[in-house]
Amino acid sequence: MKKIIIGLLITTLLVSLVTFFYKSDIFVLSEKEYIPSEYELKQIEYFNEIALKSEYFDNPERVTKWRKKMSLFVFDETNSEENLKTITNTIEDINSISSDGFQIEITDDYNNSNAFMYLCNKNKLEKIAPKFYDLLNDSINYDYSGFSYVEFKWSNFVITKALIFIDTDYPIEEQKHSIVEELTQSIGLLNDSDKYPESIFYDNDSIKNSKSYQYSKMDIALISFLYNPKMKPGYGAKSAELVIKKILKNRNDVLNR
């Protein structure tokens, strides 16, 4: 009888130990690392170039993004229907691509806005937003059809405010291109590049491409990576790469089911 009791105790103890170690992940085999395709590697590389660097300011070299809703106040001196349509379409695209709860909304409440877009010429901007005008001129010293500026906390790399200027003295097609580019940069994709002419971040700013004010597949990928729940503010290049690999693996797993 004693042997039976001792045997049961030993069995119970072994079961408890196995359960404990299993829950502690000690016996869990490491997950096989996802091997991206050649195109996916280009997506990762482009994300690091666009999201971890900045066109004008000190490069944060960290993922920088909004953690709450972006309330955008639009001042449009021209009342252009084309520009308004471009703004609303871009916002709809960003909102539909984001999967972490981030959203942009247009608001008429200036005092409670955390993002501001000014569609006017430089002289008008100097009158209605002199501090932004000074900041703009201090930052760049050449002609520009658009400009965006974001404020974020260096302690956690969370964006708290955005300012956007679209120069309405430029042709309407350039204004539309600038609206898409600057609005997208204001959510944390702060850099330009000369790699992909079809990308909204292409630094040539050419309007010869008929889709220059629409997102390319590469642009959509970057937004989806940045505003995925797994991508956290403050991540560096290595952490961002690991997160993107997980995102890509999950997507491929879903497609292959």
Tens-place pLDDT, residues 58-83: 678 899 999 999 999 999 998 899 99
The phi, psi pair for 106, rounded to 5°, reads -85, 135
* Same domain, residue pair 18 and 88: no
Range of the domain at 11: 2-30
With respect to residue 157, please indicate whether it lies within any of the assigned structural domains.
yes
Greatest CA separation for the chain: 97
Same domain flag for 92 and 216: yes
- Taking 70 as the pLDDT cut, the residues of the chain under it are 1-32, 56-58, 139-142, 204-212, 257
For residue 146, report the phi and psi dihedrals to the nearest 5 degrees.
Answer: -160, 155
- pLDDT value at residue 253: 75
- Tell me the DSSP string of 234-255: T--HHHHHHHHHHHHHHHHHHH
CA pair distance 206, 192, nearest whole angstrom: 13
Backbone angles phi, psi at 105, to 5 degrees: -135, 145
How many CB atoms lie under 10 A from the CB of residue 237? Answer: 17
Whole-number pLDDT of residue 21: 39
Rounded CA gap, 114 and 136, in Å? 18
Tell whether 256 is covered by a domain. Answer: no
* Judgement on whether residues 110 and 185 belong to the same structural domain of the protein: yes
Instruction: Confirm whether 196 is domain-assigned.
Output: yes
Per residue in 90-135, pLDDT (tens digit) is 999 999 999 999 999 999 999 999 999 999 999 999 999 999 999 8
Q: Are residues 221 and 151 in the same domain?
A: yes
pTM tops 0.85, yes or no: no
Is the separation of the CB atoms in 184 and 213 below 8 Å?
Answer: no
First to last CA, the chain: 53
Let me know whether 186 and 233 are in one domain.
yes
Residue 60: strand, helix, or coil: coil
